[in-house]
Amino acid sequence: MTFAYENKIKYKKLFSIQLFKKKFKLILSITLDNKIGGIATSLISYSKALNIINEEHWVVLPDNAAVIKDIEKIANVRLVKIKKPLLKFHVYTKFFFNSEIRNVLNKCNWVFLHNSKLVKHFSYYHKKTGLINHSGKLRNTFHSACNIFITSEGLNRFLKKYPNNNSKNIVISHGFENKVTRDTFSEIRDGSLRVMSGGRFVEKKGFKDIIEAARLLQNMQSKIQIKLYGSGQLESEFSQMIKSYQLSNIVLPGWVSSLDEAFLESDVFCIPSLEEPFGLIIGEAMMYGLPIISTKTDGALELFGNKPEEKGGMLVDFSSPQQLADAMIAMEDNVFRKKVAINAKENIQTNFSLEKLSKDLKNLFR
């Protein structure tokens, strides 16, 4: 079993020219994931953060991974694309039949694993291996490698469940790329605050609550307008709810490949999730200078802490349409909204930037 011919040629060149004469650190990431989502976004942000500190990033992933087209553009990335069944075979056999990757594993300075079920196959390299806990759940986290949690809440759950663990356990949150945009703030003079939300239309995203909040607002004759972007298995149910309530203050524009224009055209971003390990879309909205209304998920608590307005957001309880509606009404105040919006952008650019991520990674490698 071997790589595709082009990968073999590429590898031989890279090994002879770079790997054994390198002055940079060699960082290896391995994932079995091939979808768009948190792992894909993390591979991109880690690559860009590593590029800032001039580190080489080798990424081993399925050859049909959705992230390939974005990550292959990053200068410091070396992609190794393998068919998923073959990649699983190589992982399970500890790359015994693939000398190229085995050499990388032996020579690299650090290994990032992006799927929890992989960690047991890398016990020999545990001293330089970090399992990134994308989900916030505690599957396969009891080991002797390094657990990298993306929120403090995730780390606290682990320490509570496994107080006598043998792993190094740290928090490294996501890093967001700075967006150079026009000023998104505009005063609301007619009361028609523009609220946006978005994501997959599944139960855990809590979008039924935002529709119920829209009903409460319409009953109060509020002029607030809501756009709920996305698609998924609950789309027809959401459409039916809006129709049965006869709501004119919320629309479903559908799924869009980029929310950049939506961020620029909105005044507030609202995320009513019932469960969210981080909520990358929150950080993206904050980079555009939008104040946030969020439920008290792990990610929101990491971003906003116990003084949310000073960090750019308002936090509400889970499954509380009334609190969502009240928060939107509070955001109609131009002075208050502008203050929270400024705090949001300052917070994300200071504490959750790619530069901050690169510093955290540099400290990890020491």
User: SS3 for the chain, per residue?
Assistant: CCCCHHHHHHHHHHHHHCHHHCCCCEEEEECCCCCCCHHHHHHHHHHHHHHHCCCEEEEEEECCCCCHHHHCCCCCEEEEEECHHHHHHHHHCCCCCCHHHHHHHHHCCEEEECCHHHHHHHHHHHHHEEEEECCCCCCCCCCCCEEEECCHHHHHHHHHHCCCCCCEEEECCCCECCCCCCCCCCCCCCCCCEEEEECCCCHHHCHHHHHHHHHHHHHCCCCCEEEEECCCCCHHHHHHHHHHCCCCCEEEEECCCCCHHHHHCCCEEEECCCCCCCCHHHHHHHHCCCCEEEECCHHHHHHHCCCHHHHCEEEECCCCHHHHHHHHHHCCCHHHHHHHHHHHHHHHHHHCEHHHHHHHHHHHHC
Model confidence pLDDT, tens digit, residues 284-312:
999 999 999 999 999 999 999 999 999 99
Around Cβ 171, how many Cβ atoms within 10 Å?
17
Distance CA 302, CA 278 (A): 8
Provide the pLDDT for residue 13: 45
Question: In this prediction, what percent of the chain has a pLDDT beyond 70?
Answer: 91
Res. 19 pLDDT band, cuts 50 70 90 = very low
Model confidence pLDDT, tens digit, residues 154-208:
999 999 999 999 999 999 999 999 876 666 667 776 668 999 999 999 999 999 9
**Does the pLDDT at position 15 exceed 80?**
no
Res. 48 pLDDT band, cuts 50 70 90 = very high
**Chain centroid, CA 333 distance in Å:** 30
Res. 2 pLDDT band, cuts 50 70 90 = very low
**Does the pLDDT at position 348 exceed 90?**
yes
Phi, psi of 146 (to 5 degrees): -100, 130
Q: What is the mean pLDDT of residues 149-157?
A: 96
**Does the pLDDT at position 134 exceed 60?**
yes
**Does the pLDDT at position 219 exceed 70?**
yes
Distance CA 47, CA 56 (A): 8
Model confidence pLDDT, tens digit, residues 66-100:
999 999 999 999 999 999 999 999 999 999 999 99
Distance CA 140, CA 160 (A): 15
Provide the pLDDT for residue 14: 47
Tell me 318's DSSP state: T
- The DSSP H or E segment spanning 59 is strand 56-62
Provide the pLDDT for residue 9: 43
Model confidence pLDDT, tens digit, residues 260-276:
999 999 999 999 999 98
**Does the pLDDT at position 111 exceed 60?**
yes
Q: What is the mean pLDDT of residues 314-319?
A: 98
Provide the pLDDT for residue 16: 40
Which CA distances in Å does 284 have to 148, 153, 158, 344?
22, 21, 27, 11
Q: What structural domains does the chain harbor? A: 5-177+353-365 (3.40.50.2000), 194-351 (3.40.50.2000)
Top-confidence residue, 10 or 333: 333
Provide the pLDDT for residue 23: 57
Provide the pLDDT for residue 61: 97
Which CA distances in Å does 96 have to 87, 121, 128, 192?
12, 12, 19, 63
Distance CA 311, CA 307 (A): 7
Q: What is the mean pLDDT of residues 13-31?
A: 65
Provide the pLDDT for residue 227: 98
Provide the pLDDT for residue 25: 85
Res. 5 pLDDT band, cuts 50 70 90 = very low
Provide the pLDDT for residue 189: 63
